[in-house]
Structure formats: C-alpha cells, structure tokens
C-alpha cells in the first residue's frame, strides 16, 4: 500500500485517511474531534469580519474551539459554524449575529497537531481507574436548565435582567443563543438554556465580569454537572 503524505494543512478527509493508515482503524471527523483534534478555518480579510484581524493580518486560521461549534461539526451538518473563537491576537471573541458559516472543505487540521495526536494514541498515558468507578454523565449529554434554575445559578452575577431576557427569547437567550430545546411538557415555562453558552453570552454581550461567572460555576450546585464543560471551554479560549 502506498504511504499517504500528511499535508502541512490537511482537510478533514486527508487527516482521517492518514490517521486510518497509521492506526489501522477507521477515522471520521466526529472521531477526530472526540480525540482532541483541533480544526481551523482559513479566512481572508473582509470588512464583515474585521474584528478577527489585527496588526495588518490579512489571512488568519481561526480555531474551532467552542464546544457547541464542535458538536455541530461532529453531527455531520455539512458546514462549519463558528460562533466563538480566538482572534489573530489570540483573544477570545464571540462573532456577531449568528456567527460565521463556511463549507466543510474550508476546514483544516495542522500537521503538528495530527502528529502529536498520533503520538498520544501510540503511547497512551496510564489512567487511574480507581477514580472512575462511578458512572459519569458528561456535560455535553445534558440538555439545559429551566428558567428558575438559571435565575438561581446566576443570581447576582451582573446587572442584566435574566428573567426578562429569557422571557423575550431574543439574542443569547433565544434559539440561536443559549436556548437549546423545549421540555416535553410544553408551555411557556418549558424552555431550557445551556448554562455554559449562556455564561459566555453574558460576558461577551452584556459585559458580565468573567470573575463573577467563574465563581458561579465554582460554587453553585446547579452548575456542578456543567463545570467540566465550562473549564474546558475556558482552557480552549485561553481564559
């Protein structure tokens, strides 16, 4: 079999084909993301997305770091949806409106990241299984919190009127923001909101101090199941 060459910037198809040859197992984009592969979107400067470019930068690889943007990719939606990322100055940023959508063929993986991933797969670190005896519900498997729970969990974090915002269902409080689904019971009080998405929206849109949000996730029992998701998002965004 001819050995595949790994490009410096590999498409998702090229990355999966190379990993499949190296490991002898099938690879999909969903598996690549699950294993920690970091995708980028290469963007040319445009006035519409000028906030991503600094200091004369005209072409920039924007990382797909937000957990829900990665989940959109893993679901096989057929495009890339970028709502939160880092700008060319490595600062976390929420894109305006509903974010940026580009075709899937605009997605790339860096050669060095794929080589590091392969090394980790070939030489895994020992895992302490003693701490993992109890079953764990991953934050991404959870749906959200109801209105009353959100009001309790984020009480006092800022001056924004959370109750009014959730009632309006506009912006970060709506279906294109943190509202993820309706409860099966139906009715006006059946909406659920994803607390991690909401927290980043409160910070970026309503200027709620990040320190207040970090304290909420550190101390509020209602946010305990989302703490790992929150910390991972902070790490990826460099916070």
What residue spans define the domains of the chain?
9-122, 143-236
d(CA 162, CA 179): 13
**C-alpha to C-alpha distance for 213 and 204, rounded to whole angstroms:** 12
Give the global pTM.
0.55
From the list 63, 59, 73, 57, the residue with the least C-alpha distance to 41 is 63
Q: Which residues are within 8 A (CB) of 220 and not within 5 positions of it... i.e. 6 or more apart? A: 152, 153, 154
What are 119-174's pLDDT values in tens digits? 988 887 765 444 444 444 444 445 788 888 898 889 888 888 888 888 888 878 88
- Tell me the per-residue pLDDT of 76-91, one tens digit each, with 9 for 90 and over: 888 999 988 888 877 7
Could you count the other beta carbons within 10 Å of the beta carbon of residue 91? 12
């Amino acid at each position: 079999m001819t050995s595949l060459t790994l490009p410096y910037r590999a498409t998702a198809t090229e990355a999966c084909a190379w990993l499949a040859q190296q490991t002898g197992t099938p690879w999909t984009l969903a598996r690549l993301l699950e294993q920690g592969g970091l995708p980028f979107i290469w963007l040319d400067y445009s006035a519409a997305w000028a906030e991503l470019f600094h200091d004369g930068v005209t072409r920039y690889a924007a990382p797909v770091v937000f957990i829900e943007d990665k989940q959109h990719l893993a679901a096989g939606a057929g495009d890339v949806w970028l709502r939160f990322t880092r700008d060319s100055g490595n600062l976390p940023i929420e894109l305006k409106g509903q974010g940026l959508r580009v075709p899937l063929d605009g997605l790339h993986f860096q050669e060095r990241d794929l080589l590091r991933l392969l090394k980790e797969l070939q030489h895994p670190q020992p895992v302490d299984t003693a701490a993992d005896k109890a079953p764990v519900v991953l934050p991404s498997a959870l749906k959200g919190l109801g209105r009353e729970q959100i009001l309790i969990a984020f009480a006092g974090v800022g001056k924004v009127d959370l109750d009014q915002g959730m009632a309006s269902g506009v912006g970060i409080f709506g279906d294109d923001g943190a509202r993820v689904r309706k409860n099966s019971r139906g009715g006006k009080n059946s909406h659920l909101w994803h607390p991690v998405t909401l927290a980043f929206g409160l910070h970026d849109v309503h200027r709620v101090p990040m320190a207040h949000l970090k304290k909420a996730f550190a101390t509020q029992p209602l946010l305990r199941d989302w703490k790992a998701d929150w910390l991972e998002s902070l790490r990826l965004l460099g916070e």
